[in-house]
Chain A
Amino acid sequence: MEAFLDFADRYNYVITIFLMIAGLYIVVARSNMVKKLVGLSIFQTSVYLLYLEPAKIVGGTAPIIDPAFTVYSNPLPHVLILTAIVVGVGTLALGLALVVRINEAFGTIDDDEIKPQDGG
């Protein structure tokens, strides 16, 4: 019971770590370039969670000062992660654009099939 409560208290971190490792595993284990990018996105998403979880205060509201509220959530992590999301989307878009070009140049998006074509 004790262990279960302990887990329930921190389940969000378990999710974060699971996503982190799952994403990283996909990047390493898949040779399909689109799947690699999917893995990369999952990996990045886990980091968004890492920042956002501690920032949420139970019962806290958006940080716009109002006499009706006393507890506010910290806006800074949200802003940081908004930036990180934009960076992540930019990376993903560039990665997909590269994959399209690679497909046109090599006729495949599989890393393992590209290597023999050009000797690495």
Chain B
Amino acid sequence: MSSDLILRVGTKLILPFILLFAIYVQLHGDYGPGGGFQAGVIVAAVVILIAITFGHNAAKRVAPRGLVECMVPMGVLIFAGTGVAGFFLGGNYLDYSVLSHDPIHGHHLGIFLVEIGVAVTVSGTMVALFYAFVERGR
């Protein structure tokens, strides 16, 4: 917990831009460097930054422990669910080409969904790890 005014205001100012950058990295992942892993880590960095500046109780108001622990399996579930959707649309498991009327568009959609799942799991895992270590030794 820091009482330094510049840090506190600076953190508040920078947070929305970090989140915006995370969204950019997430969505740009189809065409350039980026994707769910990186975006997930950046999102987790937001929570960790809040915890460092305002204390980890403030961070837990933003991202409650229960939510974070649900995000870890939830992201994988989105990934696996995208695969299962392939079953019902007439393809094999993880076949993205049937997700849309046009195979290329289907692959696009599939990867997009999968990357969202990855982002959810990665950010959840990072924050959960952070909480787990922060609470040690108290």
Q: Do chains A and B touch in the complex (CB under 8 A)?
A: yes
Nearest first, the 6 closest Cβ-Cβ pairs linking A and B are A100-B136, A93-B129, A100-B133, A97-B132, A104-B136, A97-B129
Q: How far is the CB of B122 from chain A (nearest CB, A)?
A: 10
Residues of B with Cβ closer than 8 Å to A? 129, 132-133, 136
Q: How far is the CB of B46 from chain A (nearest CB, A)?
A: 20
- Give the CA-CA distance A93 to B136 in the complex, in Å: 15
* A-B contacts, 6 listed (Cβ < 8 Å): A93-B129, A97-B129, A97-B132, A100-B133, A100-B136, A104-B136
**Tally of A-B Cβ pairs under 8 angstroms:** 6
Interface size class of A (residues with CB under 8 A): under 10
Q: Which of A80-108 contact B (CB under 8 A)?
A: 93, 97, 100, 104
* Complex-state Cα separation, A49 to B27, whole angstroms: 30
Chain A residues positioned under 8 Å from B136 (CB to CB): 100, 104
Nearest residue, chain B, Cβ from A90: B125
Q: Is chain A's interface secondary structure helix, strand, loop, or mixed overall?
A: helix
- Which residues on B sit within 8 Å (CB–CB) of A93? 129
Name B129's closest neighbour in chain A (CB-CB): A93
User: Chain B residue with minimal CB distance to A86?
Assistant: B37
Closest Cβ of chain A to B14, distance in Å, is 27
Bound together, the chains give a CA A39 to CA B133 distance in angstroms of 23
Closest B-chain residue to A104, C-beta based?
B136
Residue of A at shortest CB range from B132? A97
